[in-house]
């Protein structure tokens, strides 16, 4: 049993991670300011003696005693991170500094949840960890893209300067139960619109591609990365290499959700990447990990969750 802190632990990914760690018997401290996360996500854990919830913003220092830190704190959908872009950048940068400072003091192993957005609108396809990316540093998405890139810089500088035990993963599009219904991500958008009988919103021509990883597969990768050998820092791509166009995803959601919704086309947002697909060779080699849940199977679970949530 370990003392583990999960920042952003009441969010979509964080709540699933807390559930996994508590189930394994670890003493888990869930830290969240509830900007995008919610108590409802972790409420089933409230009665567990090895779970604790703390309201805290990681842009301020935190003094606790832990052995491992998962740093997941940051709004991750465009609607949420563009609502307050300055705070988004502060969460990524100041939050990383504070979590790294905590890890340095306690000599804890720390994992940074980075993002495929560090690759921007890539010129290399699929994206490998050695690709440096193509990011607009002054665009509307840069608060998130550049914030995460700076966080990675800080992690590796702490590794080189202070010999900190770090792990860095780059998370590609992930979906599943507990996604926020209004987070603006394509999977939740399509499902909610379909269940409400609204037209599914396609931005641009719908030929943009994304790769979708089910949340259970993602959590398994995070746990394996945290348990990997010291000195293996990453960054490591974590995602499902199956590539789908937005049109293909919309048609699959319509088929699985039922109803008579149609497609509605709108202009593509600024700096929206045209292609996104992870090369997961490193994760397969070093972590023995590959996603197992097919997109259609994961969508069925996610649609069932949203159907229940919207009904409530």
Domain ranges of the chain: 3-175+214-239+277-292
Q: Is the pLDDT of residue 192 over 90?
A: yes
- State in words which class domain 3-175+214-239+277-292 has: alpha beta
pLDDT-derived band at 261 (thresholds 50, 70, 90) equals: confident
Please tell me the pTM assigned to this model: 0.94
Q: Which residue has the tokens 């300011």?
A: 33
Tell me the mean pLDDT in the region 72-87.
87
- The answer to whether residues 222 and 285 touch, using CB atoms and an 8 Å cutoff, is no
pLDDT-derived band at 52 (thresholds 50, 70, 90) equals: very high
Q: Is the pLDDT of residue 226 over 70?
A: yes
Tell me the mean pLDDT in the region 99-117.
97
Tell me the mean pLDDT in the region 66-76.
95
Amino acid 219: pLDDT: 98
Q: Is the pLDDT of residue 271 over 80?
A: no
Q: Which two tokens stand for residue 25?
A: 């018997």
- The answer to whether residues 221 and 238 touch, using CB atoms and an 8 Å cutoff, is yes
Q: Is the pLDDT of residue 270 over 80?
A: no
| Residue 70 designated active-site | no
Q: Which two tokens stand for residue 310?
A: 């919207």
- The answer to whether residues 138 and 162 touch, using CB atoms and an 8 Å cutoff, is no
Give the residue among 216, 230, 222 at the shortest CA–CA distance from 283: 222
C-alpha of 246 from chain center? 19
Tell me the mean pLDDT in the region 139-167.
96
The enclosing H or E element of 210 equals: strand 209-211
Q: Strand 213-214 and strand 263-266: pairing?
A: unpaired
Q: Strand 200-203 and strand 213-214: pairing?
A: unpaired
Selecting among 70, 81, 144, 175, the annotated active-site residue is 144
With b meaning 16 or more CB within 10 Å and e meaning fewer, what string describes 255-272? eebeeebebeeeeeeebe
């Amino acid at each position: 049993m370990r003392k583990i802190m999960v920042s952003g632990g009441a969010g979509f990914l964080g709540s699933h991670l807390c559930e996994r760690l508590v189930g394994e018997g670890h003493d888990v401290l869930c830290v969240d300011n509830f900007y995008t996360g919610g108590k409802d996500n972790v409420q089933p854990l409230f009665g567990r003696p090895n779970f604790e919830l703390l309201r805290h913003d990681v842009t301020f220092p935190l003094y606790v005693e832990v052995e491992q830190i998962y740093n997941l704190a940051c709004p991750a959908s465009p609607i949420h991170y563009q609502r307050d872009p300055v705070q988004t950048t502060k969460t990524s940068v100041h939050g990383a500094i504070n979590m790294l400072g905590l890890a340095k003091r306690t000599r804890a192993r720390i994992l940074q949840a980075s993002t495929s957005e560090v690759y921007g609108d890539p010129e290399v396809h699929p994206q490998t960890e050695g690709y440096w990316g193509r990011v607009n540093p002054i665009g509307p998405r840069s608060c998130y893209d550049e914030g995460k890139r700076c966080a990675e810089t800080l992690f590796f500088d702490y590794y080189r300067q202070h010999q900190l035990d770090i792990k860095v993963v780059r998370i590609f599009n992930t979906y599943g139960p507990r996604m926020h219904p209004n987070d603006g991500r394509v999977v939740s958008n399509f499902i909610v619109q379909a269940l409400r009988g609204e037209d599914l919103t396609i931005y641009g021509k719908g030929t943009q591609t994304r790769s979708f990883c089910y949340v259970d597969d993602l959590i398994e990768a995070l746990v394996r990365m945290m348990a990997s050998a010291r000195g293996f820092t990453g960054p490591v791509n974590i995602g499902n290499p199956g590539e789908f166009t937005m049109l293909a995803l919309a048609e699959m959601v319509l088929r699985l959700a039922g109803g008579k919704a149609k497609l509605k086309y709108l202009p593509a947002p600024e700096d929206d990447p045209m292609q996104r697909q992870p090369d997961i060779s490193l994760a397969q080699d070093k972590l023995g990990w590959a996603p197992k849940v097919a997109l259609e199977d994961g969508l069925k679970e996610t649609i069932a969750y949203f159907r229940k949530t919207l009904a409530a």
